[in-house]
Structure 1
């Protein structure tokens, strides 16, 4: 063949006969089959070429199949790895995730959903939504219908209900249409968050804020609580319900507590309105103080305004209570030094004020009459430009070697 006779490889290897056919798949060349003979020329015939071509076609198909199988296996490995990754991510999501088809039959749920609902995956998959969580079925089904009608997600849906194993729980749900690649809705995805613990903590904080001034709460670092105190100049207020002991002898415990709470609430609100701190309730009395932990230049005047506000609130209560429940407050106010800090143990703490000044305020209050506000001379000297008073006889009280000079507050100037 003049096309190849002069080729260097032909001469070097003394080729006498050569047969070569292409390997094609769908008209795409993927290789060749080559055969040669160095003894005889003309050994390959047309029939030989046809046989090799037929064989080549089968070889090409086999090679392509092997290549496709390798590619498929590699793709499958990638898909499996991706699926495992997605499963791990899905399982590790803190929020519960549930998917259901258009018939509300659950198709998927993660570990968080199991814990929130209180059931295992085999008990959940394949069942109807309203059968898995029947306690919220009446609440959630109308929203599911609305979501399907509008084809828009519904977010931050909060529901309170009762589970047999856990009692009252609070959940937040987000309902979203579950769409395929063509954006056709195939069901619903529900993201579920358990707010029970957070709601309980919020309720406890609200209760704490009703007992302790918000200013105190902001000053307390739970990670660095110290079992010691700090000396501060404060104004202390004691207010005690007058006539409560005799009143309590004639009332049922339920009515007694109801009336007591009305009076103590009026006193506590008056304290907090002046940014004071309600230290504690002592039976039918309340103790409060000012100028700590946040300094207040007019703290003694705030205490006086609180006492007068308590008296006004009591007068308003009289309009709502029967005559036998129309009690009153006796108030004592003193200014002096006290130690403020956490008292108790790490398991039970109380943020309070301790010192002789506290005892003095208490003794003054014990000597006040119904709806009478008494202040010590130390307190009076700080606010005398702002109030009207009557000077009273000094009090000789238990635990004090010298009489206590007191004034009755008549009003503000």
Structure 2
């Protein structure tokens, strides 16, 4: 007879009076399948024919898709035992013998059957077999009653997993519930779900051991040999006695932890592998069948899709927070550019680089005296209104509000996005600030009125999200920043002072007066200072 639905056709010669079929190692033909009973059936040789007898198996014996209990075999009959199909070819004396070479009779009958049926499947093949839309045409080899039983069981389990995906509130809860369902439907003793981290290493995220409470779980050592092959080759693997499976001879963990039966499937969706589901049995060999492998692979696909969805949702939340933080200091179009240019938000948020920027400082002249005349509430309200107006102008000219320091505002142009004319945009911003201040002063109570002064400088700085491990913010560091602040300090009310770097960028674009060298606080050498003449100017 020939096993026909195995990866390779296996021919077994019926050279005994009684040939037993089942999952037990003692059987002459060992069929590793969850739907096969321990002692499922016998094929008996009689005078001029063979007879197959069902040994009260749970799922029955079928000949040509008809269930039988005791039947004489005819050449060409297709016997179905569990999920295994066997083509019967008569080999009694006087009849032609099968052309396919027989298995080596000196070898163990268990090994002849098991290792000839090495169960390793590409995950995409399994996925096609276990779609939720079951129909008999999807598996023409299975008898209809058995197919319906298998399909209904698969459908129910996958339905339960799908419900779990929609009912859990966190990824960890989902993974734990997935293991609970697996333990209900597969004969496993231990189970672990491992996810790949950013470095490509497997990290356990959920684990379970039969008979152990979660709080009492010891560390579960996983066969990295099996897990590594599942990931690298994108295959689902079953081994019914891992200690003697030649596929994993080099796996120290298999011998050390006495792993007998093991199932390992990748968490897969399309071409992406996100980790593995690994289950094993340390006691029982032949604990798993191909049906278990297919089912676990289908579950792994649903879990991988849920992990992908969870990742997308977390990314969306991170982007929403990221955008909200950016919108406090950047114009909407700058925010969009930042998000578009940083495909990975995490990379952008920690990136620091040297670049040329123009820095603008403005502050309120005589703010201390002004605050003495107003109540705290009036002062706060005035500052908020002022900063709102000035921020709008910065955003309009594509700048970034770096920070508010007391009554001072610091803005940068050229980072994180450069427009090529950043110094010009900074001067336009300053001119518009002075113009808008005239309107602002006329609109408020006389005792609240004030004037501002502005300093601008251009140069190379370090720009990026800088700070401590607890808090970072986008800012720029460098001497050009200090010079801009000192220029603002020495500017007269309603004036704009610029440094040499800015002057070189905007000369010829605005009327500018050379004020000569000035000794600024904290600088050993004089700094060349220029004033932008604003009378009659509109940006």
TM-score of the pair, normalised by structure 1: 0.52
TM alignment of 1:262-281, pairs within 5 A: 262-281=385-404
Counterpart contact for 2:360–2:454, Cα < 8 Å: yes
TM alignment of 1:48-127, pairs within 5 A: 82=155, 85-93=158-166
Are 2:429 and 1:356 equivalent residues in the alignment? Answer: no
Alignment partner of 2:328 out of 207, 210, 216: 210
Counterpart contact for 2:339–2:345, Cα < 8 Å: no
**Aligned partners of 2:162, 2:352: CA distance in 1, in Å?**
49
Alpha-carbon distance change, 217 to 345 in structure 1, aligned in 2, over 3 angstroms: farther
Residues 8-54 of structure 1 show CA distances to partners (whole Å, capped at 9, x for unaligned) of: xxxxxxxxxxxxxxxxxxxxxxxxxxxxxxxxxxxxxxxxxxxxxxx
Residues 203-226 of structure 1 show CA distances to partners (whole Å, capped at 9, x for unaligned) of: 773343122452455555433258
- Once the two structures are TM-superposed, the CA of residue 382 in structure 1 deviates from its matched residue by 2.0
Counterpart position of 1:371: 494
**Aligned partners of 1:307, 1:225: CA distance in 2, in Å?**
29
**Aligned partners of 2:354, 2:162: CA distance in 1, in Å?**
54
Counterpart position of 1:246: 369
Are 2:443 and 1:320 equivalent residues in the alignment? Answer: yes
Alignment partner of 2:353 out of 225, 230, 235: 230
**Aligned partners of 1:266, 1:223: CA distance in 2, in Å?**
32
Counterpart position of 1:310: 433
- Once the two structures are TM-superposed, the CA of residue 274 in structure 1 deviates from its matched residue by 1.3
**Aligned partners of 1:258, 1:371: CA distance in 2, in Å?**
22
**Aligned partners of 1:315, 1:335: CA distance in 2, in Å?**
27
Counterpart position of 1:167: none
Residues 330-352 of structure 1 show CA distances to partners (whole Å, capped at 9, x for unaligned) of: 10011222222332223211221
Residues 146-171 of structure 1 show CA distances to partners (whole Å, capped at 9, x for unaligned) of: xxxxxxxxxxxxxxxxxxxxxxxxxx
Counterpart position of 2:96: none
Counterpart position of 1:188: none
Counterpart position of 2:309: none
TM-score of the pair, normalised by structure 2: 0.41
- Identify, as 1 or 2, the structure richer in strand: 1
**Aligned partners of 1:400, 1:348: CA distance in 2, in Å?**
30
- Once the two structures are TM-superposed, the CA of residue 250 in structure 1 deviates from its matched residue by 2.9
3-state SS, counterpart of residue 231 of structure 1: strand
- Once the two structures are TM-superposed, the CA of residue 381 in structure 1 deviates from its matched residue by 2.7
Counterpart position of 2:413: 290
Counterpart position of 2:517: 394
**Aligned partners of 2:380, 2:319: CA distance in 1, in Å?**
26
Counterpart position of 1:339: 462
Counterpart position of 1:44: none
**Aligned partners of 1:263, 1:283: CA distance in 2, in Å?**
12
- Once the two structures are TM-superposed, the CA of residue 294 in structure 1 deviates from its matched residue by 2.7
Counterpart contact for 2:319–2:345, Cα < 8 Å: no
Alpha-carbon distance change, 77 to 335 in structure 1, aligned in 2, over 3 angstroms: closer
**Aligned partners of 2:480, 2:383: CA distance in 1, in Å?**
27
TM alignment of 1:165-244, pairs within 5 A: 202=320, 205-212=323-330, 213-214=334-335, 215-216=337-338, 218=340, 221-224=344-347, 229-244=352-367
- Once the two structures are TM-superposed, the CA of residue 227 in structure 1 deviates from its matched residue by 6.0
Give ranges in structure 2 of 5+ residues lacking alignment: 1-143, 170-312
- Once the two structures are TM-superposed, the CA of residue 91 in structure 1 deviates from its matched residue by 4.0
- Once the two structures are TM-superposed, the CA of residue 319 in structure 1 deviates from its matched residue by 3.2
Counterpart contact for 1:236–1:290, Cα < 8 Å: yes
- Once the two structures are TM-superposed, the CA of residue 240 in structure 1 deviates from its matched residue by 0.9
Aligned residues: 249
**Aligned partners of 2:491, 2:365: CA distance in 1, in Å?**
9
**Aligned partners of 1:244, 1:401: CA distance in 2, in Å?**
29
**Aligned partners of 1:372, 1:257: CA distance in 2, in Å?**
25
Counterpart contact for 2:515–2:529, Cα < 8 Å: yes
- Once the two structures are TM-superposed, the CA of residue 270 in structure 1 deviates from its matched residue by 1.4
| Greater Rg over alpha carbons, structure | 1
**Aligned partners of 2:454, 2:375: CA distance in 1, in Å?**
27
**Aligned partners of 2:148, 2:339: CA distance in 1, in Å?**
58
**Aligned partners of 1:253, 1:198: CA distance in 2, in Å?**
40
- Identify, as 1 or 2, the structure richer in helix: 1
- Once the two structures are TM-superposed, the CA of residue 80 in structure 1 deviates from its matched residue by 7.4
Alpha-carbon distance change, 225 to 201 in structure 1, aligned in 2, over 3 angstroms: closer
- Once the two structures are TM-superposed, the CA of residue 78 in structure 1 deviates from its matched residue by 6.8
Counterpart contact for 2:359–2:457, Cα < 8 Å: yes
- Once the two structures are TM-superposed, the CA of residue 387 in structure 1 deviates from its matched residue by 0.7
Alpha-carbon distance change, 262 to 204 in structure 1, aligned in 2, over 3 angstroms: farther
- Once the two structures are TM-superposed, the CA of residue 237 in structure 1 deviates from its matched residue by 0.8
Alpha-carbon distance change, 297 to 85 in structure 1, aligned in 2, over 3 angstroms: closer
**Aligned partners of 1:76, 1:216: CA distance in 2, in Å?**
55
